[in-house]
Amino acid sequence: MKLSSLAVPLLLAGTAVYAMTRKVDVYDALTAGAGDGLTIILRILPALVGLLTAVSMFRASGAMEWLTGLCSPLLSKLGVPAELMPLMLIRPISGNGALAVGSELIRTYGADSTVGRTAAVMLGSTETTFYTIAVYYGSAGIRRTRHTIPAAITADLAGFFASALAVRIFFPG
């Protein structure tokens, strides 16, 4: 039995038992939260229908290969599989777009492949930078964002390279 496969059931049981001792209605919380999850899915679905259509067309037309080939000399030097270039381009701009591109990569190359894993780690370790900046500064009434965007992009780039690095460390070969 591997530790990672134990983690999920242990976390489930541990949370439930701990919450029960704190007098939380565990089952009610679980179903309420699951309902929230469903609204997330319902919000993603329409965007994903449009975006996965575009991404599939993009791959079938050969444009994806062309883009990948264009970036591979640079990216392979940096240790990032070139297949991930489209994901890195769209990640800061659109959360749903990144989910569409990322899940298409995971589907095409396989969830347990290096490309699929790196795509998943990139999705999990970065955010929709420009959307976040717009939401925060829009409501706080900030017009001059100063070094926010360069610093945020630095974090994104670091996240991309770190994702490729982390996959190589944890899943060698």
* Nearer residue to another protein within complex by CB, 82 or 97: 97
Among 81, 83, 84, 163, binds another protein (CB under 8 A): 163
Size of the residue set binding another protein (CB under 8 A): 104
* Nearer residue to another protein within complex by CB, 76 or 107: 107
* Nearer residue to another protein within complex by CB, 78 or 158: 158
C-alpha angle 36/11/125, rounded to 5°?
A: 65
Site for another protein in 60-119 (CB under 8 A): 60-63, 66, 90, 93-94, 97, 99-100, 102-104, 106-107, 110-112, 116-117
For the four alpha carbons of 93, 99, 104 and 105, in that order, the dihedral sign comes to: positive
CA 117 to CA 125: how far, in whole Å?
A: 12
- Applying CB under 8 A, does 137 fall inside the site for another protein? yes
Closest distance to another protein from the beta carbon of 77 (Å): 19
Backbone angles phi, psi at 124, to 5 degrees: -80, -20
**How far is C-alpha 157 from the geometric centre of its chain's CA atoms?**
14
CA 167 to CA 125: how far, in whole Å?
A: 12
Element (H, E) at 13: helix 3-21
Closest distance to another protein from the beta carbon of 119 (Å): 9
* Nearer residue to another protein within complex by CB, 26 or 72: 26
Closest distance to another protein from the beta carbon of 106 (Å): 5
Site track 5-44 with another protein (rule: CB under 8 A), x = hit: x-xx--xx--xx-xx--x-xxx--xxxxxxxxxx-xx--x
- Other beta carbons within 10 angstroms of residue 86's beta carbon come to 24
Decide if 171 contacts 117 (C-beta within 8 A): yes
